[in-house]
Amino acid sequence: MRLAVLGAGAVGRAVADLAPSYGHAVTALADSSSAVVDPGGVDVGAALARKDAGDPLGESDPGDALAAEYDALVEATPTTLGDAEPGFSHLRTALERDRHVVLANKGPVAERFADLRALEADSAGDVYFEATVGGAIPACATVADLGPERVSAVRGVLNGTANFVLSRMAAEGLDYDHVLAEAQDLGVAEADPSFDVEGTDAALKCVILANLLREADCGSIEELRERALTLSDAAVEGIRDIPGSALDLAAEDGRTVRLVGEATRDGVRVGPRLVPENGTLAVSGTRNIVEIETEHAGGLAVSGRGAGGEETASAVLADVGRLPDPER
Amino acid sequence: MRLAVLGAGAVGRAVADLAPSYGHAVTALADSSSAVVDPGGVDVGAALARKDAGDPLGESDPGDALAAEYDALVEATPTTLGDAEPGFSHLRTALERDRHVVLANKGPVAERFADLRALEADSAGDVYFEATVGGAIPACATVADLGPERVSAVRGVLNGTANFVLSRMAAEGLDYDHVLAEAQDLGVAEADPSFDVEGTDAALKCVILANLLREADCGSIEELRERALTLSDAAVEGIRDIPGSALDLAAEDGRTVRLVGEATRDGVRVGPRLVPENGTLAVSGTRNIVEIETEHAGGLAVSGRGAGGEETASAVLADVGRLPDPER
């Protein structure tokens, strides 16, 4: 397939790099300031080398990538909230051209799910978004495979930065501010860590999962419009106010604390929870886990690397593999 | 879809029971001595009630189910080794009629994989076999989703009976014979437990996984014929000879013993292995786990109920959901 990749951060770069080994060609690659477009296949290495040297990625405008020849648009620009722009407009343009869209950007799926499905219904293109939840973990695909109508709840540990901070606090008896500074030094936490430590990132992922469950109960886009959730519907509590002493107390009882998100048909809750120290939810580092409660198959757990360019790109490329091949 | 279900053990019964709630009709249901066939939909409850009362399932011959009207054959008769009969002939008949086949029976996939793919290549029908590996766990689907050519190894704990015996030996300090007798009393182990405790069952599952990896390297059925493995290619060691003292020694070191299977392109090995007591592989009871090593996504782990009628039926019905709908 021919891919147009929007976004040249860790995920977009890795998608463009790995695409040929999955049998796909990159016909356009854009960051926020420029683009390189070539219907015969972009020289990805050269474009990224230019960017690394501080030069523009290419000589085209970013918008030219959207107008290029491609079968699927890979939307890997940063997640934005509210109207989810400019990601949502990118998705709209591609669907209106009857092209497929694969999202790594959580915004359009978490904030405008019904709008997204409405555009998809009017398009010959399909939309997939496995990479928006849990990096390499096939969370959405497993829910789809089981049948979302037979899934009652999805619970998970879905933010690696929060994991790292909580693991270090428990292991070293250090307090939040100290460990956060350390995580920032190591590059595990961003300079502005609020998206991760306040639970926003985990909540967006849970909203996406809850939307998959709710969608299964809807017979129409209108019904989905009433039922679909956004971040503002989620009850979210972060890890900022957890004192080190709380982790010590938990440890005395064989437990620890993780930022756990839960998505059910009733809604989304994210917050610090006591979990057994050796239990399945006590994953560490950037490892994520989702537990899927099903009607007939009991609980299924899927864990793996929840972040990282290559890991997330592998989820994007798995989605590309799910798309109907235009050459068939 | 219209399903013909062969086999009325725990899995076949559960498939027939659950099929309507997945939107499918059962047009034939057979055990080894009789069948009930109705193009308008079998009354599954009534048929199973007859069987439970000691009467024949229906008035037709088992072979009539194979000749009935259906879109997909669900082969849930007991796994047999070597020529994998009669399961293999059932599969052949359905594929020669251009019908789909979904297997819960491991025999044809583990013992005659190239024959199976050759028949599938000549048929308009597809073959799926998620239920043959790890009950409810989507092991084959996850490997397919990641791309088997990008999976280097699959490791797992894939036999619940062996798990139960090893967990009890470790927890109670009892020896193998004692725990096995207890497991037989509880119905967790069969009267003849050799299939489970000698590692055969786990090895068949690993052979199936290894065949998926090897298939990815083959350009033709002829090549697959040379490369496909069977049970006789697997290096298998069971848990019969593990002394209780070995588990005590392991525990002193924070470890325990599990029957671990490993499938790589090089082959299949199954045997008791030391694993960390709180590690991901130390699942207990009938819980199974598979760890999938990938090229770009690191390791993924999927765990869930590895046995049980409904659990395995849910994997069968997920496969049915993967089939192209004949009404589209």
**Could you tell me the pLDDT band of residue A106, with boundaries at 50, 70 and 90?**
very high
Interface contact flag, A304 B301, Cβ < 8 Å: yes
Nearest CB to A298; choose among B147, B302, B305 = B305
CA distances from residue A274 to A143, A257, A306, B70, B328 in whole angstroms, order as listed: 25, 5, 21, 50, 48
Mutation for testing the A interface, residue in B314, B316, B319, B323 having most A CBs under 10 Å: B314
Contact between A16 and A48 (Cβ < 8 Å) = yes
Residue B314: list chain A partners with CB under 8 A: 146, 150, 294, 296-297
Q: Is the pLDDT confidence value at A327 over 70?
A: no
Are A208 and A314 in a shared domain?
A: no
Residue A318: list chain B partners with CB under 8 A: 145-147
Q: Is the residue at B327 inside a domain?
A: no
The catalytic residue among A2, A90, A117, A205 is A205
Q: What is the pLDDT of residue B239?
A: 96
B148 touches chain A (CB under 8 A): no
pLDDT tens across B245-304, in order?
Answer: 899 999 999 999 999 999 999 999 999 999 998 888 998 877 899 999 999 899 999 999
Interface contact flag, A310 B297, Cβ < 8 Å: yes
Q: Is the residue at A91 inside a domain?
A: yes
Measure the N-to-C terminal CA separation of chain A; round to a whole number of Å. 11
Are A129 and A158 in a shared domain?
A: no
Interface contact flag, A296 B280, Cβ < 8 Å: no
B150: which DSSP letter?
A: G
Say how many domains are in chain B: 2
Are A123 and A151 in a shared domain?
A: no
- Round the average pLDDT of chain B to a whole number and report it: 95
How many inter-chain contacts (A to B, CB under 8 Å) are there?
Answer: 96
A301 touches chain B (CB under 8 A): yes
Are B255 and B167 in a shared domain?
A: yes
Q: Is the pLDDT confidence value at A328 over 60?
A: no
* Calpha distance A85→A218 (Å, rounded): 26
Residues, chain B, total?
328
Q: What is the pLDDT of residue B116?
A: 98
Residue A56, by phi and psi: left (phi above 0), alpha (psi -120 to 50) or beta?
A: beta
Residue of B nearest to A304 (CA): B300
Residue of B nearest to A14 (CA): B296
Residue of B nearest to A316 (CA): B146
Contact between B14 and B2 (Cβ < 8 Å) = no
Nearest CB to A18; choose among B296, B310, B313 = B296
Q: What is the pLDDT of residue B284?
A: 83
* Secondary structure class of B262 (helix, strand, coil): strand
Residues, chain A, total?
328
The CATH number of whichever domain residue A287 belongs to comes to 3.30.360.10
Contact between B324 and B124 (Cβ < 8 Å) = no
- Main-chain dihedrals φ then ψ at residue A19, nearest 5 degrees: -50, -45
Residue B136: list chain A partners with CB under 8 A: 294, 297-298, 300
The tokens describing B18, both together, are 């659950």
- Please list, in sequence order, all residues whose beta carbon lies within 8 angstroms of the beta carbon of residue B113, skipping any fewer than 6 positions away: B208, B211, B215, B224, B228, B229, B230
Nearest CB to B318; choose among A145, A299, A321 = A145
Interface contact flag, B296 A310, Cβ < 8 Å: yes
**Could you tell me the pLDDT band of residue A286, with boundaries at 50, 70 and 90?**
confident
Q: Is the residue at A95 inside a domain?
A: yes
Q: Is the pLDDT confidence value at B328 over 80?
A: no
* Calpha distance A256→B20 (Å, rounded): 43
pLDDT tens across B1-50, in order?
Answer: 999 999 999 999 999 999 999 999 999 999 999 999 999 999 999 999 99
- Domain residues for B194? 139-305
The whole-number average pLDDT for the span A171-181 is: 91
Are A56 and A106 in a shared domain?
A: yes
User: Which candidate, B131, B75, B77, places its Cα nearest to that of B99?
Assistant: B75
Are B121 and B167 in a shared domain?
A: no
* Calpha distance B152→B217 (Å, rounded): 12
Q: Is the residue at A328 inside a domain?
A: no
Are A145 and A68 in a shared domain?
A: no
Nearest CB to A301; choose among B141, B297, B303 = B303
* Calpha distance A1→A92 (Å, rounded): 20
Q: Is the residue at B328 inside a domain?
A: no
* Calpha distance A107→A89 (Å, rounded): 11
* Calpha distance B22→B130 (Å, rounded): 17
Range 12-31 of A in CB contact (< 8 A) with B: 14, 18, 22
Are B59 and B170 in a shared domain?
A: no
In the annotated binding site of B, the residues are 7-12, 106, 190
Residue B311: list chain A partners with CB under 8 A: 296-298
Contact between B224 and B180 (Cβ < 8 Å) = no
Q: What is the pLDDT of residue A99?
A: 98
Q: What is the pLDDT of residue A279?
A: 86
Q: Is the residue at A301 inside a domain?
A: yes
- The CA-CA-CA angle for residues A280, A284, A289, to 5°, reads 45
A313 touches chain B (CB under 8 A): yes
**Could you tell me the pLDDT band of residue A121, with boundaries at 50, 70 and 90?**
very high
Nearest CB to B136; choose among A18, A141, A297 = A297
Q: Is the residue at B15 inside a domain?
A: yes
- Range in A16-30, A222-236, A285-299, B224-238 the model is least confident about: A285-299
The CATH number of whichever domain residue A91 belongs to comes to 3.40.50.720
Q: Hey, which residues does A28 pair with through a beta bridge?
A: A4, A37
- Round the average pLDDT of chain A to a whole number and report it: 95
A10 touches chain B (CB under 8 A): no
Are B171 and B218 in a shared domain?
A: yes
Question: How distant is the Cα of B59 from the closest Cα of chain A, in angstroms?
Answer: 31
Q: What is the pLDDT of residue B326?
A: 67
Tell me the ipTM for this assembly.
Answer: 0.92
Among the residues of chain B, which ranges form H helices?
Answer: 10-18, 44-52, 62-67, 87-96, 107-111, 113-121, 139-146, 160-172, 176-186, 194-197, 200-215, 221-227, 244-252, 309-322
pLDDT tens across B120-152, in order?
Answer: 999 999 999 999 999 999 999 999 999 999 999
Are B226 and B208 in a shared domain?
A: yes
CA distances from residue A194 to A191, A198, A282, A312 in whole angstroms, order as listed: 9, 5, 22, 21
**Could you tell me the pLDDT band of residue A12, with boundaries at 50, 70 and 90?**
very high
User: Annotated binding residue at A51?
Assistant: no
Q: Is the residue at A273 inside a domain?
A: yes
**Could you tell me the pLDDT band of residue A326, with boundaries at 50, 70 and 90?**
low
Interface contact flag, B298 A305, Cβ < 8 Å: yes
Are A217 and A69 in a shared domain?
A: no
Q: Point out the residues of B that are catalytic.
A: 205
The whole-number average pLDDT for the span B47-70 is: 97
- The CA-CA-CA angle for residues B52, B53, B59, to 5°, reads 90
Question: How distant is the Cα of B314 from the closest Cα of chain A, in angstroms?
Answer: 6
- Main-chain dihedrals φ then ψ at residue B77, nearest 5 degrees: -85, 165
Are B54 and B182 in a shared domain?
A: no
Question: How distant is the Cα of A61 from the closest Cα of chain B, in angstroms?
Answer: 31
Residue A141: list chain B partners with CB under 8 A: 141, 145
Helix axes B200-215, B139-146, angle to 10 degrees: 20
Nearest CB to A298; choose among B136, B146, B280 = B136
